[in-house]
A = this chain, B = another copy of it.
Amino acid sequence: MTNSSAARSPRTDAVRNRQLLLSAAAEAFAEHGTEVSIAEIAQRAGIGKGTVFRHFATKEDLIAAIMGEMIDSLITTGMGLWDAADPAAALLEFMTTGIELLARDRAFCEVVGRPSLQHPAVRAGIDRLCEVVEILTNRARRQGVIRQDITGQDIVLLLGGVRHTAAPLADTQPQLWRRYLGLIFDGIRAQAAQPLPHPPPRRLEFTGPYCESSH
């Protein structure tokens, strides 16, 4: 419906600035997490602070736009692996790609790990990601190459988990997460040595207004 009747293509400087803003923000968020100030992002982009809010009404919207792109790229990766020859290897490759993304981007880590802060759009993206991974997981499970009680949602949650395991030493050993991915994937392959002590996770639930309400 947008741009339907009184459509007018945006000015060239506006699209240029939007692009500058998006890349500067992506870079800043990756380095420092979502806590970087809008002022710093604007400075990096070489534009005024007001211009930032012209393109994105709130900081949350800006974050959501960038995180949405990252989630989409991960979804694409997942879909590209649907018809891989070895479904276990495909699953491992997907997880590797995902954690590489997380390891490179602090903001992505934060947003993915904290449902109470999530923008509705991000939430929707993660839902789609879960569905994609579910398909990847189902194939592997049906072929019996991973234990039967693992779901796609498990896999998605484990991405953040693996990354966080290695996070405290990430400055000095940036590849350490590969160790824990290996360890956990051994657990995923293991044919249910022990039944898991808790049922699989339910879908992420909507927890009301997406901003931390607390106290």
Q: Which residues of B contact A199 (CB under 8 A)?
A: 179
| A186 close to B (CB within 8 Å) | yes
Chain A residues 161 to 212 lying within 8 A of chain B, measured CB to CB, are 161-162, 164-169, 171-173, 175-190, 192-202, 204-205, 207
Residues of B within 8 A of A207 (CB): 171-172
- Tell me which residues across on chain B come within 8 A of A166, comparing CB atoms: 157, 161, 201
Copies in the complex: 2
Residues of B contacting A161 in the complex (Cβ-Cβ under 8 angstroms): 161-162, 164-166, 180
* In the complex, A215 has a CB within 8 A of chain B: yes
Interface centre among A115, A154, A186 (most CB of B within 10 A): A186
When A186-B193, A187-B184, A215-B40 are in contact, do A176 and B164 touch as well, CB less than 8 Å?
no
Point out residues on A near B: beta carbons under 8 Å.
Answer: 31-32, 40, 112-116, 150, 154, 157-158, 160-162, 164-169, 171-173, 175-190, 192-202, 204-205, 207, 214-215
Closest 5 CB pairs between A and B?
A: A161-B165, A187-B187, A179-B198, A164-B164, A178-B198
